[in-house]
């Protein structure tokens, strides 16, 4: 028996699985894969049991349960001032990962080019390649990883189908500002270039910054898929519930893929989230303060270390430069941190098409204050 060649020959197991497995094997504090070590709101958790006991255990409608679609529409109106039609512009998905895959699969034709910004979240490029597209990577530069709009303009060709935007940005924590939005509007106006906004960290922006959703700008929204994740916002990453908003013509194509990738997402989780969104509309506005406090706690505890850093502008990640400690490449350094120091982190080079000239690791600070202190104590000792 001969198996066919790999559809993704360059791809191994995702770094999140590799590092979390190593953390568990060596008993290290896991600041690698991004997930909280605390629970979501009790009232939300209880609603899941409530709906299961009431018998909400069969398939929900393919685009999502009506109460959750309505709650998402309310949320988008509340935060970004756009009134959406839940029937034609919102789809609930099994996490943002599914939404990203569906959006890319619905729009990328063989030979199309898709612009990405490196370091880029690791699910984008494989989804593009599986659809016969070509990722075109633009390198963002440390330490602050700003957009270089001249470089973006220069990367555009007649084959450019899509640009994937991610703000707040994983893994760097960079947040795009109003000027970036203006530049993007100017760049795409009058073209047929589509946009995919990965907004999973939309509510984690610090120090008075604002998240600029494409939903607030007509020129952008008419060509956009905007993706988010309840996993990040409600501390429930294991539930894998996300959604995509897009204008009706794009949503129609998006749902053609969604209906055959997963068809739908567990009913009791959708119903519980719908109840909680309605019950606690302030949650999204309070999350930034909650995570800013965690960022400050971690950064303060790390002041005594030999790592160098600028506090993150958004997300629940903090990049740290270890060049004063070691000359090892970041993958080897993360292995050392996990196995010897007892703290797991993510190497940044794995998010880059070309190995970057930097020594940076990513720590997740979505952890209890005690966990962050314990980790910092170990990291300050090296």
Residues that bind ligand PMP (CB under 6 A): 34, 95-97, 121, 166, 170, 198, 200, 229, 231, 237, 240, 242
Closest CA to 188 of 217, 223, 214: 223
CB-wise, 167 or 170, nearer to ligand GLN? Answer: 170
For residue 120, the minimal CB distance to ligand GLN (Å) is 11
Q: Which does 16 bind (CB under 5 to 8 A by kind): ligand GLN, ligand PMP, none?
A: ligand GLN
Rounded CA-CA distance 118/350 in Å is: 10
Q: Which does 198 bind (CB under 5 to 8 A by kind): ligand PMP, ligand GLN, none?
A: ligand PMP
Answer for which of 91, 106, 160, 170 binds ligand GLN (CB under 6 A) is: 170
For residue 16, the minimal CB distance to ligand GLN (Å) is 3
Dihedral of CA 241/242/248/252: which sign?
A: negative
Q: Establish if 16 lies at the interface with ligand GLN (CB under 6 A).
A: yes
CB-wise, 68 or 341, nearer to ligand PMP? Answer: 68
CB-wise, 135 or 242, nearer to ligand GLN? Answer: 242
Q: Establish if 33 lies at the interface with ligand GLN (CB under 6 A).
A: yes
What DSSP string runs through 197-226? EE-TTTT-B-TT-----GGG-HHHHTTEEE
The residues with which 75 forms a beta bridge, in sequence order, are none
Q: Are 192 and 226 in contact (CB under 8 A)?
A: no
CB-wise, 103 or 271, nearer to ligand GLN? Answer: 103
For residue 15, the minimal CB distance to ligand GLN (Å) is 8
Rounded CA-CA distance 286/224 in Å is: 27
Q: How many residues bind ligand GLN (CB under 6 A)?
A: 4
For residue 326, the minimal CB distance to ligand PMP (Å) is 26
Q: Are 265 and 94 in contact (CB under 8 A)?
A: yes
Rounded CA-CA distance 116/121 in Å is: 9
For residue 364, the minimal CB distance to ligand GLN (Å) is 6
Q: Establish if 34 lies at the interface with ligand GLN (CB under 6 A).
A: yes
Give the Å distances, CA to CA, from 100 to 121, 155, 231, 325.
11, 22, 15, 37
φ, ψ of residue 29 in degrees (nearest 5): -70, 125
For residue 65, the minimal CB distance to ligand GLN (Å) is 25
Give the Å distances, CA to CA, from 379 to 95, 274, 308, 341, 344.
32, 41, 12, 7, 10
Which residue's CB comes closest to ligand PMP? Answer: 95
CB-wise, 65 or 364, nearer to ligand GLN? Answer: 364
For residue 33, the minimal CB distance to ligand GLN (Å) is 5
CB-wise, 171 or 268, nearer to ligand PMP? Answer: 171
Give the Å distances, CA to CA, from 6 to 11, 19, 133, 159, 161.
9, 24, 16, 26, 25
φ, ψ of residue 92 in degrees (nearest 5): -85, 140
Q: Which does 264 bind (CB under 5 to 8 A by kind): ligand GLN, ligand PMP, none?
A: none
Contact set with ligand GLN (CB under 6 A):
16, 33-34, 170
């Amino acid at each position: 028996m001969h198996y066919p060649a790999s559809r993704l020959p360059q791809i191994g197991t995702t770094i999140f699985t590799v590092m979390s497995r190593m953390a568990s094997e060596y008993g290290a504090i896991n600041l690698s894969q991004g997930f909280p070590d605390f629970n979501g709101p009790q009232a939300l958790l209880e609603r899941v049991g409530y709906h299961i006991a009431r018998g909400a255990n069969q398939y929900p409608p393919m685009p999502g349960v009506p109460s959750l679609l309505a709650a998402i529409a309310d949320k988008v109106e509340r935060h970004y001032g756009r009134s959406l039609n839940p029937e034609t512009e919102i789809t609930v998905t099994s996490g943002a990962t599914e939404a990203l895959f569906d959006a890319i699969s619905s729009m990328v034709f063989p030979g199309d080019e898709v612009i990405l910004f490196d370091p880029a979240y690791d699910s984008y490029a494989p989804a593009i390649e599986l659809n016969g597209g070509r990722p075109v990577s633009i390198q963002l530069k440390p330490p602050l990883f700003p957009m270089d709009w001249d470089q973006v303009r220069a990367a555009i060709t007649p084959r450019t189908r899509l640009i994937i935007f991610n703000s707040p940005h994983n893994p760097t924590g960079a947040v795009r500002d109003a000027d970036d939005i203006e530049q993007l509007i100017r760049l795409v106006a009058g073209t047929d270039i589509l946009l995919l906004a990965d907004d999973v960290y939309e509510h984690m922006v610090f120090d008075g910054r604002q998240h600029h959703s494409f939903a607030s700008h007509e020129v952008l929204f008419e060509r956009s898929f905007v993706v988010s994740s309840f996993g990040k916002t409600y501390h429930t990453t294991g539930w894998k519930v996300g959604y995509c908003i897009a204008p009706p013509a794009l949503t129609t194509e998006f749902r053609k893929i969604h209906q055959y990738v997963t068809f739908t997402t567990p009913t009791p989780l959708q119903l519980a989230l719908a109840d909680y969104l309605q019950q606690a509309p302030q949650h999204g506005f309070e999350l930034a303060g909650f995570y800013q406090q965690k960022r400050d706690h971690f950064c303060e505890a790390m002041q005594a270390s030999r790592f160098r850093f600028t506090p993150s502008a958004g997300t629940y990640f903090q990049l740290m430069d270890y060049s004063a400690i070691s000359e090892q490449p970041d993958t080897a350094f993360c292995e050392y941190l996990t196995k010897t120091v007892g703290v797991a982190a993510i190497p940044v080079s794995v998010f880059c098409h070309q190995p970057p000239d930097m020594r940076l690791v990513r720590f997740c600070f979505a952890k209890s204050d005690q966990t962050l202190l314990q980790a910092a104590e170990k990291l300050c000792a090296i």
